[in-house]
Structure 1
Amino acid sequence: MSLYFEEEGAVKLPLPCEELAGKVIEAALDYVGCPYEAQVNLLLTTNEQIHEMNRQFRGIDRPTDVLSFPMLEYAEPGDFDFLEEREDCFDPESGELVLGDIVISKEKVLEQAEAFGHSAEREYAFLIAHSVLHLTGYDHIEEQERLVMEQKQRDILEQLQILR
């Protein structure tokens, strides 16, 4: 798995961001049964920057905690079978499946960790697990989808022993 990590802004999270992100992404991909080595881009940014991205890409005029930009559309969440015929989904140099981009607001990680009464590590790991599920076709628009996604997030974090 390749993680392309970038960070901007003065706020620093009190944790090994790149290392933890790699562990959570690997665990999430294993959990959903991704049969390929994968590639993910992760940007840690500011409320101001994620606000602009949220407005530009989603038409929502406020900062958010995480944005996910999947490179693939899945007929069924977590069903990777269609990729056998899709060479265009793989990085030609590494052979890795290109999953997409994750953008996280560092301020929101800290705000939400405090609001929910858990660590910044737990909040950060949760947002990454949540986003990887989006990158592999899961969503939470419908109630049943939300329940499935929430259970998967809990399972991933429990496997990593990152608890509330």
Structure 2
Amino acid sequence: MDLEIYDHTKNKVSDDNIELIESILNFSAKKIDLNDNTEMSVTLVNNDEIQDINREYRNVDRATDVISFAIEDNEDDFPILMTEEMQNEIPKNIGDIFISVDKVKEQADFLNHSYERELAFLALHGFLHLNGYDHMEPEDEKIMMPMQRVIMEEYGLER
């Protein structure tokens, strides 16, 4: 997976935490059998920037922990005839994740677990959204929430 991580935070995120994001997302990509030529990005921000994003794109004027922007490929709109081999060679960008490191700290403290566990959880949560998983409807939640728990446990970051 081609993963770009951008740090827009005031105090800069440690290299270890950047590596944690890369590691949990690559681990998760293997768990859901994501194609190797998939592209995505993660941008780490502070509360003020994620609040601006939340206000602009969701009409919610408050900071949140993670926002995912999935790129929806609707092949029916512009059908392109390609062989399976050609399709596998063209990278597919699935979207972008924004994570507030301020919320990571707040929630880790509130939930009494490590900053690293919360950071990995939010990266995974956003990643699953980019890959079509959701939790707004009960039947979707029954799929996504156990999947998150299992991936976190198998990665070694259970609660």
Matched, 1:156 2:154: no
Distance 2:72 2:81 in 1: 10
Is this contact kept in 2: 1:140–1:149, CA < 8 A? Answer: yes
| 1:4-83 alignment runs, 5 A limit | 4-13=4-13, 16-72=16-72
Assess, with a 3 A threshold, how the Cα gap between structure 1 residues 32 and 15 changes in structure 2: closer, same or farther. same
- Identity %, equivalent residues: 34
Contact 1:72 1:135 in 2 (8 A): no
Kept after mapping to 2: 8 A contact 1:12/1:106: no
Matched residue SS, 1:16: helix
Equivalent position of 1:82 in the other structure: none
Query: Aligned pair count?
Result: 149
Question: 1:140 corresponds to which residue?
Answer: 135
Instruction: Show structure 2 runs of 5+ residues with no match.
Output: 75-79, 83-88
Separation in 1 of the partners of 2:121 and 2:6? 19
CA distance 1:155–1:15, change in 2 (3 Å): farther
Q: Is the 8 A contact 2:54 2:62 kept in 1?
A: yes
RMSD (CA atoms): 2.2
Larger radius of gyration: 2
CA shift for structure 1 position 9: 2.5
SS in 2 for 1:99: strand
